[in-house]
Structure 1
Amino acid sequence: MAKCDYCGSTIIFGGKRDANGRFCNQKCQGRGGLLAFSRQIPEGTVTEQVWKFHQGPCPKCNGSGPVDVHVNHKVWSAIALTQCSSTPQISCRSCGVKSQLGGTAFSLFLGWWGFPWGLLLTPIQIGRNLIAMASPPEPSKPSPQLEKAVRMTIASRAVQQQQAARQQSAQTVPAKA
Structure 2
Amino acid sequence: MAKCDACGTTILFGGKRMGDQRYCNDTCAGQGVLLNRVRQIPDGDVVAFANQVHSGNCPKCSGQGPVDVRDSYQVWSAILFTRWKSTPHILCRRCGVKAQAGDLAISAVAGWWGFPWGLLMTPVQVGRNIWSMAVAHNPNQPSDALLRQARLILAQRSLQDGRSQG
TM-score (norm 2): 0.83
Cα separation, 1, equivalents of 2:104 and 2:131: 11
Alignment of 1:86-97 (within 5 A): 86-97=86-97
Alignment of 1:5-154 (within 5 A): 15=9, 27=27, 30-154=30-154
Q: Is the 8 A contact 1:16 1:26 kept in 2?
A: no
Cα separation, 2, equivalents of 1:58 and 1:93: 9
How high is the sequence identity, in percent, across the aligned residues?
46
Q: Is the 8 A contact 1:73 1:85 kept in 2?
A: yes
What amino acid sits opposite 1:80 in the alignment?
L
- 1:174 corresponds in structure 2 to none
Cα separation, 1, equivalents of 2:21 and 2:70: 26
Displacement of 1:28: 5.7
State the superposition RMSD in angstroms: 2.6
1:60/1:38 Cα in 2 relative to 1: closer, same or farther (>3 Å)? same
Cα separation, 2, equivalents of 1:97 and 1:20: 40
Q: Give 5+ residue unaligned stretches, structure 1.
A: 167-177
Q: Give 5+ residue unaligned stretches, structure 2.
A: 12-16
Name the SS for the 1:162 alignment partner.
helix
Displacement of 1:21: 9.9
1:44/1:100 Cα in 2 relative to 1: closer, same or farther (>3 Å)? same
Cα separation, 2, equivalents of 1:134 and 1:72: 12
Name the SS for the 1:62 alignment partner.
coil
Displacement of 1:22: 9.8
Cα separation, 2, equivalents of 1:116 and 1:51: 43
Displacement of 1:42: 1.4
1:28/1:16 Cα in 2 relative to 1: closer, same or farther (>3 Å)? farther
Displacement of 1:128: 0.5
1:151/1:21 Cα in 2 relative to 1: closer, same or farther (>3 Å)? farther
1:26/1:66 Cα in 2 relative to 1: closer, same or farther (>3 Å)? farther
Cα separation, 1, equivalents of 2:85 and 2:114: 15
